[in-house]
Chain A
Amino acid sequence: MVRHVIIGGGPAGIAAAEAIRREDPRAELLLVCDDPYGYYSRPGLAYYLTGEIPEEMLYPFGEQDMRKLRMHITHDRATRINSFDRLVELQSGSSVAYDQLLIATGALAASIRTLGSELAGVVKLDCLEDAKRILKLARKARAAVVIGGGITALEIVEGLRARGVKTHYLLRGDRYWSNVLDETESKIVEHRLQEEGVQLHYHSEVDQILGKNGRVEGVRTEDGRQIPCDLVAVAIGIRPRTELAVKSGIEMDRGILVNEFMETSAPDVYAAGDVAQVYDLSTGKSVLDSLWSPARQQGHTAGMNMSGGRVPYLKTVAFNVTRLANLTTTIIGAVGQGADPDLIGIARGDSETWRQLPDAIAAQSDFDVNRLRLLVGNTTLLGAILLGDQTLSQALQQLVAQRVDITSVRDQLLKPKAPLAEIIANFYVQWKRENALARQP
């Protein structure tokens, strides 16, 4: 009987467990998970913070679903992998043997190196425990300061606003998420935040978090302004949780390096999800994603291969649908470039591929708060971003992911003030029809 050990209970770990159980009903499955709450929806924490869902709803698997997996769960932390003796050493002092091992430890928020960052009231948003801490503090807090960028920073901002906390959002540069959104999109999001009552502070870098009796009392910016607050939330990006792999001598770059079969440099040790830096067959590059669906896909691939298969992970075009300042936003493919002063590397709900902008010309159109931006390549669409109206979200996802030849409408798209939505909608309908016809015998 093969003994599979999975370290990490997020979507990658759970998807691997499902695949293994399906492929090998007799396999022994052990999950080592250091989150006391087990498997829950990390993205769901945003809606838990705003009060849209209660805590019980965060758990996608009921007891019955878990029982079906016949997986033993140990709440412990893996500290080292001994790949010679095939043992995982645990923090509690014990160790577990494995035949096949998956590292799916995810990522953690990067911490801020500022005086006062150890004060009580300085928070991040990685896990359910963090969300609970934010809610507890928000109950008493009058004002909060949020530092950072990307989706997580706004999740915290909106959670705090929903709880009636006066919120200051500090941006280092002159706009929000500058390496994914373009100027107009940043302005749309910022304007909506201001309408919600969020105080935006541009060109503001925290010099020191001020405290009294070990508790946050405010922040001082580099230009000497003081903002009183009882809570400081930091979301300046994430780092893959690689210390386990580092200690175990597994090959690393920004994350744990894996090939298309999700194999690490150690025999029978796999990695998947936010912790893994995955080889992309189509580009030959190894990239980090912090997205639910790729994590699940990678976990599934790892699970298949751990139970004797030989299936490559085919990276799809990275996309995410999220809410920015209450505006539904779809981000597909290559849409931005460069660095964002508010983030160190990657953030949650982010993909490095969004900033691999090849030769593309941007075409855009605005209508009220809705906005559609297309990155038009020579023959295909390389990326798209939709703010607000989501009618074309699925269509664009398919057109970008399947690298559909758009030569016939390219000139139309690139005309100034072109009605992009209409052109794409018509093109998509025709493409679908032709596809349906082609499939008929």
Chain B
Amino acid sequence: MNLKHLFRNEKTRRQALVQGYVVPDTARCVQCGICTYNCPINIDVRRHAWLGEPVKDSHCLTCGECVARCPRGVLRFERTNLFNPVEGGE
């Protein structure tokens, strides 16, 4: 991993923090519960993945713990498009 890559990761993370939420891909999820177990504020991320709903819980810190720990790539950050509503989304 080079320096550029590292900065890009950091940038993505910061962007996610201000304008993103965690979105599940239900078809990949096997309900193992690693996401829920590792959520620092006990959001039931797994339930969201079962229902196919983004984690819109206002308490979500978008810390990325669940995204990083999911062994099956179920979760990803998606931009809320709060500042750019033209592209669809919310």
Contacts and interface: CB of A to CB of B under 8 A. Distances in A.
Contacts of A292: 29-31
B6 to A, nearest CB: 16
Interface stretch (A41-49, A69-77, A371-379): A41-49
B28 A57 contact: no
Contact of B71 (A42, A54, A65, A328): A328
B47 interface: yes
Given A44-B33, A53-B37, A60 B71 contact: no
Given A44-B32, A60-B47, A292-B30, A321 B37 contact: no
Contacts of A42: 30
B64 to A, nearest CB: 15
Contacts, number: 63
B14 interface: no
B78 to A, nearest CB: 12
Interface in A20-49: 41-44, 46-47
Contact of B72 (A53, A57, A321): A321
A269 to B, nearest CB: 27
A293 interface: yes
A47 B34 CA distance: 8
Contacts of A43: 30-32
Most buried by B among A42, A46, A60: A60
Contacts of A321: 28, 71-73
A57 B30 contact: no
Contacts of B25: 394
Contact of A328 (B30, B37, B50, B73): B73
A60 B31 contact: yes
Contacts of B3: none
B50 to A, nearest CB: 6
A127 interface: no
B34 A52 contact: yes
A241 to B, nearest CB: 20
Interface string B23-61: 001111111111011000000001100100000000000
Contacts of A54: 37
B73 A53 contact: no
A65 B47 CA distance: 10
A390 interface: yes
Given A60-B50, A293-B27, A293-B28, A394 B33 contact: no
A53 B31 CA distance: 12
B46 to A, nearest CB: 6
A164 to B, nearest CB: 21
Given A41-B32, A44-B30, A292-B30, A60 B46 contact: yes
Interface string A301-324: 000000000000000100001110
B30 A41 contact: yes
Closest 4 pairs (CB-CB, A-B): A44-B32, A43-B30, A57-B33, A321-B72
10 contacts: A41-B33, A44-B30, A47-B32, A53-B34, A57-B34, A57-B36, A292-B29, A293-B26, A330-B73, A394-B76
Interface of A: 11, 41-44, 46-47, 52-54, 57-60, 65, 292-293, 316, 321-323, 328, 330, 390, 393-394
Given A293-B28, A321-B72, 20 more contacts: A41-B33, A42-B30, A43-B31, A46-B32, A47-B34, A52-B34, A53-B32, A53-B37, A54-B37, A57-B32, A58-B32, A59-B33, A60-B33, A65-B47, A316-B27, A321-B71, A321-B73, A322-B72, A394-B25, A394-B76
